[in-house]
A and B are shown apart, each in its own frame.
Chain A
Amino acid sequence: SEMRPGISRVFDVIVIGAGHAGCEASAAAARAGASTLLITHSKMTIGEMSCNPSFGGIGKGQLMREVDAFDGVSARIADQSAITYQALNRSHGPAVIGLRAQIDRKLYKKHIQKELLERTRNLEVMEASVEDIVVEKKEKGEGNVLRGVVLSDGSIVETKSLVIATGTFLGGEIFRGNERITAGRIGEKSATGLSLALKRLNLRLGRLRTGTPPRIVASSIDLSRFTRMSPDETPIPFSFMTKKIGIPTEQQLPTYLGETNDAVTKIVQDNLHLNAHVREETNGPRYCPSLEAKIIRFPQLKHRLFLEHEGLDSDVMYPQGMSMTFDLPVQEAIFRAIPGMERVEIVQQGYGVQYDYVDPRELKGTLEVKKVEGLFLTGQINGTTGYEEAASQGVIGGMNAAARSRGEEGLTVSRVDALVGVLIDDLTMLGTNEPYRMFTSRAEFRLHLRPDNADMRLTEMGRRMGVVGDERWNEFTAIKKAFDTCCDIMGNDKRSVYKWMKAISSLKIADKPQLMSALDMIYRHNVSFDEMAKANPSLAPFVGDPNLEERLRIEAMYSVVGERMKMKMEEVRREAATSIPESIDYSAIRGLSMEAVEKLERHKPLSLAAASRIQGVTPDAILILLRHVKCEVRV
């Protein structure tokens, strides 16, 4: 395309889409000092929580903390808008705790719009629709370079890098009963022009499905028929920076737990034939995102449903677990078969969505498209599901888009260092054929990738990339210094149990021959930090900081397997660094079993580490593959 006169500015970074990925991407690019333009269909929808009114969960809480460690926005904003904190797995230890909160949609939107529209330097927001992207062939070498975007009025905006974060809007189609409508979100048009543009760039596209439950009127439900779940007495905020949450615990709202029954199962089964979305489920996900899928696969079970308030002063409730795509009368019948909901009113019916996603193997670990320098994809467009998955990709994509505008390659976060690293590595190395959701079990180093240490893992990285502001940096470095000093003191203070008992009078332990460090003592024998400081006066300056003490106690606990973990991390780093050429012919490799050949051909992993994560590929196959790849490289 030809550049039109009238557009005088060249942006460093343009971000298309203002959902969770787009918000984080534009904010991160702007924090990094890039002149950034955020393009959205409507400013009013910036930060829309289009599905559940909550942030966090198991694994997802970690992602929120990681976004926060890069000085991202969603964790802080969520803390200002939360109406219930309910952390999951609280009693099961810091590695698997799931930070989670119900969020007031309106408040969240209000706060994040204020943040992006008024408080973020270097960021401009424009209401427009992007119809095409402009690329140029590289002068040297293969591939393209991104130049700009074409708006619906035909004008071109130039940019050094572009982040596409259009969620389910690419080729979006909505399903209601037997109806099919072209749309991204209900009542909003989808982005077909962009979809075509990506196809023209020869990017492999696939199709995924998701859905959202109906919204119901709270006052039409007899909530006494459901199990009430109260907010946590001591809420755990998402952000390391949050000193005071927006809404105090006593003003927070409970959530409610109920379940489906045989009558619900029967209505679903009787109406499955009237459901185009379900009929189209050829290669559905392994898990059950919709009530239909749950009942098809597990008809004998009663399925849980959670009732969640959509806001402090909202009469709308979100029935988590009841995503469905039936016609409205069927949806009503299903709800009304549940005790307590006999007279329930539906304000917005549930629907299914099908949308295009780009095969994430088209991306580098920086989220930049391999074939187009300067083009980044983040969020649902890469085949993920969930706000947190989107937001965490947004931070990384925005940060790296800014780096690209400076002429740098950007940062690939390793799966050893962050759960978002696991997410990106899984996607870019193995691809996905179902909406990718984060589980802590996907990480080799779950014990290391915890919510409590996200800042220790990532904030320095973020600072180097320019996305961590001074306020956070100063606060972080103070904590880090105190933590490192204490770890040092306590790790080196090794005494016999006898000497420990002499120093700490309350201790009663059966004699053990080996030396124990002060760290061992606070974990293994529950010595309080105060007592420890009496035994070792060099700790005295650090007494009275519960945050620091908690961090030390957790550190001590996981040092049990620390050595082994470090060795394994090296292994994973090495395997991740062993890439498999895309042109590999598995069937020509001697010694690979047919099953392994078939699996490898289907998944096309791009690194040895990724190959070893494929189900059914045995360690022997990995060894054979390693030998082969190493030989190839030498040739």
Chain B
Amino acid sequence: RMSTIFALSSGSLPAALAIFRLSGPMSKGTLMRITKKKELLPRYMFYSKIYDCTGQVFDSAMAAYLPGPSTFTGEDTAEVFVHGSVAVVDRMTETLSSLPGMRHATAGEFTKRALLNGKISVHEMNALGALLQSTTPRQMEQANRALKQGDWLHKSITRLRCKLAIVADFGEDVTSNIDEVRRELEALLIEIKEKRRKGLAGERVRKGVKIVLVGRPNVGKSSIFNRLCGFDRAIVSTVPGTTRDSLEISRIIGGINVTIEDTAGIHYSNNPVEKDGIKRSMQKMNEADVIVAVVDASREDREILHIIPSHIPHIVVFNKADLMDKKPSIEGSQVYTIATASDGCESLEKKLEETLMELCPPYAELTLTAGVSEVEKLIEECLSHNDIGLMNEILQMASEVWGRADTNEQLISDIMKNFCIGK
């Protein structure tokens, strides 16, 4: 028999309240036992004393019993809101563990049960995971959007499979049109391509964006880094090559999680330690989502601009702008700063925000996981045929690739629910 799991589902203690969640066949029995209630009204929150195994009252709480399958896990569940003290929570945990059929949940087990019971799809599970881990408003928004959307691709493919099944099997009963199905397939293809584009951006919102500062030694990278940190993180000196190893901080810019890295100055050097630092700087630069290339405005040396990978968005910072004779003529984003005096640092921050907005536009979506490019290929293949049998077969493959293929019997049942079939 399935065990009933429980866990403390609220945050760190002490707090005003601590919420325990139970899921499984013993949820009701256990709740009745610890509250000594003879009967529980489903979905009805009630006040009660809480008893431990010896029958001693150790707290008073609000609680509710929620019968399956219309619950998060699909099973019978219960929630108990006890007081959020360490002692109460310990006693509660002890009490629940000792009751028959009960055990503490492992990490993610509630979600796993919801998945196994078909309450959520893998894609929704990912979205839920993203929501639970969100630290920035943008992450929260896109996780919520993904949750609300549900498994749209599964829904779309299933809908089209139903339509093809109608053409194949129920043409006599229901007016159906293969051209309409083709048009919908084409629209779905466009939607997938669009979502893939948005998904890339969404992935950046979820993972955060890496900003790397690069430049020749002694151009003021570390001063700028400190300005972006908001405090003196890096050691600054007039000696070139002070930064040997990369430094890194995390912060939020424009609602996006970013890590900013300071790197060792890039130039020709014989010092083995410095040489290694330079190698790492080059590597960091190539892995960056955004490059901030710092140039000494007072000097003619612009070589660094030639080694920046052109596909990575970058901002050129002309530091020591007070020492500059005339404005240089180069293409692209540029800012003028006097990092030592924090002049121009706001405009750098603003430029960064703009760049981040381009990388993570508001339409960014957390929707796509592995398999989608294969689904895209199969739908293209499906459209290359005119034979309904083949089209059906290939679309079924697509839904299998996506991970949740409804059985034919399920499709037939859905069709019968929605259409008048039979003579």
Contact = CB atoms under 8 A, between A and B. Distances in A.
B390 A615 contact: no
B250 interface: no
B118, B390, B407, B422, most chain A CB atoms within 10 A: B422
Contacts of B420: 288, 294, 297-298, 301, 303
A595 interface: yes
Interface stretch (B78-86, B237-245, B252-260, B381-389): B381-389
Nearest to B421: A287
B392 interface: yes
A102 interface: no
Contact of A95 (B118, B173, B388): B388
A59 interface: yes
B389 A93 contact: yes
A592 B409 CA distance: 21
Interface in A286-345: 286-289, 293-294, 297-298, 301, 303-304, 306, 320-321, 323
Contact of B416 (A286, A446, A588): A286
Contacts of A441: 165, 168-169, 408, 411-412
A243 interface: no
Interface string A94-109: 1110000000000000
Contacts of A293: 422
A286, A303, A613, most chain B CB atoms within 10 A: A286
A613 B413 CA distance: 12
A558 B413 CA distance: 27
Nearest to B411: A441
Interface in B366-423: 385-390, 392-394, 397, 407-413, 416-417, 420-423
B190 interface: no
Interface stretch (B67-75, B143-151, B223-231, B265-273): B67-75
B413 A96 contact: no
Contacts of B118: 593, 595, 616, 618
B167 interface: yes
Contacts of A593: 2, 74-75, 113, 116-118
A323 B116 contact: no
Nearest to B414: A615
B1 interface: yes
B386 A594 contact: no
Contacts of B169: 58-59, 96, 439-441
A444 B389 contact: no
B68 A594 contact: yes
B171 interface: yes
B124 to A, nearest CB: 15
Interface in B151-170: 165, 167-170
Contacts, number: 136
Contact of B409 (A95, A594, A614): A614
A561 interface: yes
A561 B413 contact: no
A446 B387 contact: no
A350 B169 CA distance: 26
A558 B390 contact: yes
A587 interface: yes
Contacts of A297: 420
Interface string A438-459: 0111111011001000000000
Contacts of B312: none
A441, A595, A615, most chain B CB atoms within 10 A: A441
A442 B422 CA distance: 16
Nearest to B173: A304
B125 to A, nearest CB: 13
A487 interface: no
A288 B68 contact: no
Contacts of A620: 116
Contacts of A512: none
A88 interface: yes
B53 interface: no
A584 interface: no
Interface in A74-124: 88-89, 92-96
A591 B2 contact: yes
B423 A320 contact: yes
Contacts of A22: none
Contacts of A615: 407, 409-410, 413
A19 interface: no
19 contacts: A58-B169, A59-B169, A88-B171, A93-B386, A93-B390, A94-B389, A95-B388, A96-B167, A440-B168, A441-B408, A443-B408, A446-B389, A450-B389, A561-B393, A590-B2, A591-B116, A593-B74, A615-B409, A616-B118
Interface of B: 1-2, 25, 68-69, 74-75, 113, 116-118, 165, 167-173, 178, 385-390, 392-394, 397, 407-413, 416-417, 420-423
Given A95-B389, A618-B118, 5 more contacts: A58-B170, A95-B388, A96-B168, A442-B408, A593-B113
Ranked 4 nearest A-B pairs via Cβ: A95-B389, A93-B387, A287-B422, A92-B388
